[in-house]
A and B are shown apart, each in its own frame.
Chain A
Amino acid sequence: MGWLAEASTKYRLRWKRRRLLFRALRKRRQLSPVIDRTAQIAPGAILAASTVRNEAVRLPFFLEHHRKLGVAHFLFVDNASDDGTREYLAQQPDVSLWSTPESYRLSRFGLDWLTWLMIRHAHGHWCLTLDADEILIYPHHDTRPLPALVDWLERTGRSSFGTMMLDMYPKGPVRAQEYRAGEDPFEALCWFDAGNYMIQKQPVHQNLWIQGGVRARCFFADEPRRAPTMGKVPLVKWNRRYVYINSTHALLPRDLNRVYDEAGGEETSGLLLHTKFLHTIVDKSAEEKERGEHFANSALYESYYDALVENPDLWCEASTKLTSWRQLEAMGLMSRGNWI
């Protein structure tokens, strides 16, 4: 009866995908265009999509880094920023911007909005779905831009690329070092947890549920199940019928989640360096606790916000200092696979 169960799961997921697509379709009215430069998008261009709220501090570096990697056009949704994010993005020549005052949580943390934009503009393109605090790196990213990576992925018959989020943190209390827009955030946030990640395979969606890292160590040691999910599939050769399920941790159709090798070998993979722990985290946490827009069940995460508001020091003696992607690759945090 195994095949029957399999078939029914497939059928269920198919309808789930359609439901989510329909949901995105309904939510399209919540978006109003600020500036639409999507006419610039050339065939084959690599796109990035992101929902942002008050990220003026992070965006200059975010844009610079991903432009350098070869992202040709950015699709942004601004969710009621009041720190100049909107004005800043509108000025950028390679950005198309929409805005909405509606609830981030009710839009599945911005995904419904992005799904709609990607249906419209990302069909047939390799598309990178990121948060503003995520910086994509992969093996050889300093010498081989994204077009080289996606070319190679296509040649090896893959249409998605797996990564893990790596929480970067400073040494000393998180608020001690002030970050100014445009600077390299990894000057200060140069420490990470190298080897405390725990992986389970999710039977239904077949993605890897990765937990661990500094947040699990410092904030969820008593409740590991609630520790944040670190695995992501941010880079996908998009089709308008695809949809992300839960942040970019997993998507449908589920074959796209199989970014790992199960026979013992290593696929090529990358990392999302997470710049969450800039000095702004302390004030932002206090605000997020108030808003309750970041978790489906926000009350359960109050102690997490409380710990962040206290300006913690996340560093420990066993923290590792970031030196290069080769270091991360050698430590097994990402892999070249056979892309040498």
Chain B
Amino acid sequence: MSVGIIMLVHTAFDRAEQVARHWAAAGCPIVFHVDRNVPSKTYNTFVNAMSDLPDVRFVKRHRCEWGTWGLVAATQEAGETMLAEFADVRHVYLASGACLPLRPVQELIDYLADRQTTDFIESATTADVPWTIGGLDQERFTLRFPFSWRQQRYLFDKYVQFQRAVGYKRHIPNGVVPHMGSQWWCLTRQTLSAILEDPERKAYDRYFRRVWIPDESYFQTLARLYSRKIESRSLTLSKFDYQGKPHIFYDDHLQLLRRSDCFVARKIWPFANRLYDAFLTDQDSAMKRTEPNPGKIDRIFSKAVERRTRGRPGLYMQSRFPAPGREGGLTCAQYSVFEGFSDLFENFEPWLAKATGARVHGHLFAKERVEYSDGQHVMNGALSDSAKLRDYNKRAFLTNLIWNTRGERQCFQFGPRDMIEEIEWDIAKDPNAQISVITGAWAIPLFKSNKNFSDIRKEAALLQQIESEHLKALRSEWAKARIRIWTLAEFIEAPMEPLQTVIDEIGKQYQRGLAEVPKMADLTGFGQFLQNLKNQGMHPYLMGDFPVAHGRHEPQQSKRKPYLVR
């Protein structure tokens, strides 16, 4: 008793020959089907090359185009020949010229000998699997598909639309339930002969001739009618990408294929010498007797599909440049933006770095230069501190910075003195941003400065205008960042609570409450300063309500006990 191999070949004949000889050496008879599109000269050469093997047959050639009936017709033809000519074949294995046996053929023969009545054919109803490509699942069985999807796509699509429009529905003969699955199967003589000798075969053939991709459904459906025992899986390892095209295996997949423990894999790149050498030489090493386990490598392939369809969010490069709105996240990781904090607290940056362990920059968008942490001139990824380079493409600057520092939380200061146009919107719309704002805190440096009051007044008016525009962005309906806004008056009323909240969100590991408090600027006389601005006709409103007189919430704030959460 042995296993018969049907090989469908259309290219790479030298490899097909090599693999066929490998099968034949283990005593497997082979029936070849060669695509009719192959020139007869090539075909004849191939037939001659195989003529020294006794148990090899060639069958009538059909034109085999992907997704058409030709592949089924070829398989039927080859199956009939196999059953008629090789009486001792019990299992018939359908393979292609690009299939490569991964384990010694004897192991496959033994494996099948232990499962004499089992058919290995992946077979599932359309309702149960999400395999379909192109939006056609149940419809591939209820519409007609006379046009080629590859060459006559326009007609194909139009004809599908037309049939949908008129509500056309095909009758499925004898009420069989359509199943589909991998086209590479291994059937027992009983099942295969029952399918091929079925008195109703004509009706089935006529029906499946106009089904879309019949090679994935003809045997898969009919095997359900006759099989005594179906194992719904393919013995051939075959991975498909998101477009439904098979993955190709190269030399560097050697270990991966070994690990799969599968009997046969496809498709192998014809020039993958190392793979052919490794798997087709005599492997008299210990027989494994393990079950094939393609699941071991599934993760790698699903990752690849994800890389191709979703990509790495936050990465912009020569082959990933999402259209606006399709980034899947502007940046790749969470970061924190602080507005007004470094004006209110004298040592905010070092304090924050200590409290959270994050990387704390100064004003990254400052006018003169990029204020990286610790006064660095270049950051990770050789990001320059030149303000001109940054302003040339601010969005690229921000996304680069966050991408380059993956794994380390970034915090930076931001405010109306910076070059915030445009980028303020990007940040506000970025779900990865955590923005904390103390409005009106920009007045504190003015209050402390030694400038003429008329200049201060002018600057204050400008900064107030910029910040109120900025707040519009933060409060707009498009803002997706986590945004917290306090007025200055509100904040200094009870500064530790907001600080604690913000810090908790940054560093999960530092949740034990703040050990140290940042030092707040001395605000004695700040109320009067604001009143003076008002007296000059400039109304500072972003700070909230600040009493003119020395209030209870003034300098002593910094002496408050640390606020402890638990």
The answer to whether B514 has its CB under 8 Å from any CB of chain A is: no
- Decide yes or no: A262 and B400 within 8 Å by CB, A224-B389, A316-B382, A332-B315 being known contacts: no
The answer to whether A323 has its CB under 8 Å from any CB of chain B is: no
Q: Do A337 and B308 touch across chains, with their CB atoms under 8 A apart?
A: yes
- Decide yes or no: A265 and B310 within 8 Å by CB, A338-B241, A338-B304 being known contacts: yes
Give the distance to chain B from A221, nearest Cβ to Cβ, in Å.
4
Q: Please, which residue of chain B has its CB at the minimum distance from the CB of A195? A: B381
8 cross-chain CB contacts under 8 A? A140-B252, A194-B381, A197-B317, A197-B396, A222-B386, A261-B321, A320-B382, A332-B315
- Decide yes or no: A338 and B251 within 8 Å by CB, A214-B382, A266-B307 being known contacts: no
| In the bound complex, CA of A3 to CA of B182 (Å) | 43
Interface residues of B in 377-436 (CB under 8 A from A): 377-384, 386, 388-389, 392-393, 396-397, 400, 403-404
Contacts of A319 in B (CB 8 A): 382
Q: Please, which residue of chain B has its CB at the minimum distance from the CB of A316? A: B378
Give the distance to chain A from B63, nearest Cβ to Cβ, in Å.
20
The answer to whether A174 has its CB under 8 Å from any CB of chain B is: no
The answer to whether B159 has its CB under 8 Å from any CB of chain A is: no
Q: Do B380 and A155 touch across chains, with their CB atoms under 8 A apart?
A: no
Q: Please, which residue of chain B has its CB at the minimum distance from the CB of A231? A: B318
Contacts of A261 in B (CB 8 A): 308, 311, 319-322
The answer to whether A260 has its CB under 8 Å from any CB of chain B is: yes
The answer to whether A196 has its CB under 8 Å from any CB of chain B is: yes
The answer to whether B25 has its CB under 8 Å from any CB of chain A is: no
Contacts of B326 in A (CB 8 A): 262-264
The answer to whether A129 has its CB under 8 Å from any CB of chain B is: no
The answer to whether B539 has its CB under 8 Å from any CB of chain A is: no
Q: Do A221 and B386 touch across chains, with their CB atoms under 8 A apart?
A: yes
Give A306-340 as 1s and 0s: 1 = Cβ < 8 Å from B's Cβ atoms: 00000000001111100000000000111111111
- Decide yes or no: A340 and B386 within 8 Å by CB, A194-B381, A195-B380, A197-B396 being known contacts: no
Chain A binding site: helix, strand, loop or mixed by DSSP? loop
Q: Do B317 and A332 touch across chains, with their CB atoms under 8 A apart?
A: yes
Q: Do B318 and A317 touch across chains, with their CB atoms under 8 A apart?
A: no
The answer to whether A275 has its CB under 8 Å from any CB of chain B is: no
Q: Do B321 and A196 touch across chains, with their CB atoms under 8 A apart?
A: no
Q: Among the listed stretches A99-107, A108-116, A143-151, A240-248, which one makes contact with chain B, having 4 or more residues with CB under 8 Å of it?
A: A143-151
Using CB atoms and an 8 Å cutoff, list the residues of chain A in contact with chain B.
140, 143-145, 147-148, 151-152, 155-156, 162-164, 193-201, 208, 210, 212, 214, 216-217, 220-225, 231, 259-269, 316-320, 332-340
Contacts of B322 in A (CB 8 A): 261-264
Q: Do B384 and A221 touch across chains, with their CB atoms under 8 A apart?
A: yes
Q: Do B389 and A162 touch across chains, with their CB atoms under 8 A apart?
A: no
Q: Do B384 and A337 touch across chains, with their CB atoms under 8 A apart?
A: no
Nearest 5 A/B pairs, CB to CB: A195-B381, A269-B319, A338-B308, A193-B382, A224-B392
Q: Do A151 and B269 touch across chains, with their CB atoms under 8 A apart?
A: yes
Q: Do B308 and A265 touch across chains, with their CB atoms under 8 A apart?
A: yes
Q: Do B313 and A264 touch across chains, with their CB atoms under 8 A apart?
A: yes
Q: Do B381 and A318 touch across chains, with their CB atoms under 8 A apart?
A: yes
Scoring A197, A214, A318 by chain B CB atoms within 10 A of each residue's CB, the highest score goes to A318
Q: Do B393 and A198 touch across chains, with their CB atoms under 8 A apart?
A: yes
The answer to whether B452 has its CB under 8 Å from any CB of chain A is: no
Give the distance to chain A from B306, nearest Cβ to Cβ, in Å.
9
Give the distance to chain A from B65, nearest Cβ to Cβ, in Å.
15
- Decide yes or no: A144 and B304 within 8 Å by CB, A269-B318, A269-B319 being known contacts: no
Q: Do B271 and A148 touch across chains, with their CB atoms under 8 A apart?
A: yes
Q: Please, which residue of chain A has its CB at the minimum distance from the CB of B317? A: A332
Q: Please, which residue of chain B has its CB at the minimum distance from the CB of A261? A: B320
Contact of A340 among B304, B383, B384 (CB under 8 A): B304
Q: Do B382 and A162 touch across chains, with their CB atoms under 8 A apart?
A: no
Q: Among the listed stretches B116-124, B186-194, B242-250, B479-487, which one makes contact with chain A, having 4 or more residues with CB under 8 Å of it?
A: B242-250
Q: Do A143 and B252 touch across chains, with their CB atoms under 8 A apart?
A: yes
Contacts of A164 in B (CB 8 A): 317-318
